[in-house]
A = this chain, B = another copy of it.
Amino acid sequence: MTTPHMSGVQRAAYVPIRMPARHVPMENDWTSLSEVRRLLKYDGHCSANMHDPTFRRRRLQAGRSLFSMGQEFGGLYVVRSGTLKTVVTHQEGTEHVISFSMQGDLLGAEGVCEHHYWCETFALSDCEVIRLPADDYFSPGRAGDGIERMICWAISREVGRRQSAYAITHAAKSEVRVARFLVEQSERHAALGYSPTRFALTMTRRDIGAYLSVTLETVSRALSALHQLHIIEVANREITIHSLDALRAFEG
C-alpha cells in the first residue's frame, strides 16, 4: 500500500483547498446527460436518440486508482469534482505523468481505439467521476456504428500516438531518445509491410531534434554513438538496424 511506486497512495497528504470533505457516501448517484454536457462545456447539440440516458457516478478517495495500465477498456470518465493524475509507468519503474485532470476533463480517451487503458489514473484528492460505459457506445453492432464511430476510433488512436511520442522525450539521455525514435520508426515501417531494419528517414536531423527536444548536433552525435556500439549503421538518411533487440534494450 505504500510501495515507492504507488506514491499516489498516501495519507491524504497536506490539505488542498476546496477539497470536498470525505463524508456522506451516497453511493451510486446518477447523472443526467445535460450535466455531462455542462461539465464538458460541449457547445453542440446532443439529442440523445434514446430517451435521455443517465450515467453512473463513481466516488474515488485520494490516492486510489481509477483504472490501471493494461486493464480492459470499460468506458470513458468525465471528472465531476476533484483532481487526478494520469501516469505511465515504464519498465524501469519511472513514472511519467501524462496529465493532471480537473472538472470537465475526459479520462481514458486512448482506450476507445485500443480496447485497453494505456495508463493509470490516480485520484490526487477525493474525486467524483461519471462513467460513459464502453458497451453502450463502442461495442460493435450497436445502432449508429457509422463513419462517425470510425472517426472517433481514429481520433482516439491519435491520443495514444501522441502519448507515445510524449513518452519518448521523457527519457533522460538523448541517445535513449534517439534509440526509441528509431524503434518507433522501425515499427511503423514494419506495420506497413516494409523492412523494420533498413529504411530511409524522410526528415532532417533538425526535424528529429525538434521532435525529441534536443538539438540537431545531439541527434547526430547520438546516431554516431549508436553506430560505434555496432547497433546501427548510418549513411546519411539511410538507416540499417543491426540489432533491433539491442536498440530496444538500449537505456544508456
**A154 touching B106 by the CB < 8 A rule?**
yes
Check B155 against A109 for contact (C-beta < 8 Å): yes
Is B98's CB under 8 angstroms from A150's CB? no
Can you name the residue of chain B whose Cβ is closest to the Cβ of A209?
Answer: B97
CB neighbours of A250 from chain B (8 A)? none
Name the segment of A65-73, A164-172, A225-233, A240-248 touching the other chain: A164-172
Asked whether A21 is an interface residue with its Cβ less than 8 Å from the other chain, the reply is no
Report whether A47 and B145 are in contact in the complex, using a CB–CB cutoff of 8 Å.
yes
The answer on a CB contact under 8 Å between B152 and A152 is yes
Please report which residues of chain A, range 145-170, place their CB below 8 angstroms from some CB of chain B when the two chains form the complex: 145-159, 161-163, 165-166, 169-170
| Number of chain copies forming the complex | 2
Is A3's CB within 8 Å of the partner chain B? no
Asked if A45 is at the interface (CB within 8 A of a chain B CB), the reply is yes
Size category of the binding interface on chain A: 35 or more
**Contact between B170 and A213, CB atoms less than 8 A apart:** yes
A212's nearest neighbour on chain B, judged by CB, is B97
**Which B residue sits closest to A164, measured CB to CB?**
B99
Q: Which one, B40, B169, B200, contacts A17 given CB within 8 A?
A: B200
CB contact under 8 A between A148 and B148, given known A7-B204, A106-B158: yes
Contact status A87-B210, CB under 8 Å = yes
Q: Give the contacting residue for A165; candidates B49, B98, B140, B202; CB below 8 A.
A: B98
B207 x A40 contact (CB < 8 A): no
Within the complex, what minimum Cβ distance (angstroms) separates A208 from chain B?
Answer: 8
Chain B residues whose C-beta falls within 8 Å of the C-beta of A163 in the assembled complex: 162
Chain B residues lying within 8 Å of A53, measured Cβ to Cβ, are 147
A36→B105 CA distance, assembly (Å): 30
Q: Which of B102, B104, B152, B200 contacts A151 (CB 8 A)?
A: B152
A46 CB to nearest chain B CB (Å): 5
In the complex the two chains form, is B158's CB within 8 Å of A109's CB? yes
Question: Can you list 12 A-B contacts with CB-CB less than 8 angstroms, sorted by A residue number?
Answer: A7-B207, A13-B204, A14-B236, A44-B140, A46-B149, A97-B203, A100-B207, A132-B147, A144-B144, A148-B148, A158-B159, A166-B169
Closest 8 CB pairs of A and B: A97-B211, A83-B202, A97-B210, A109-B158, A124-B202, A152-B152, A17-B200, A16-B200
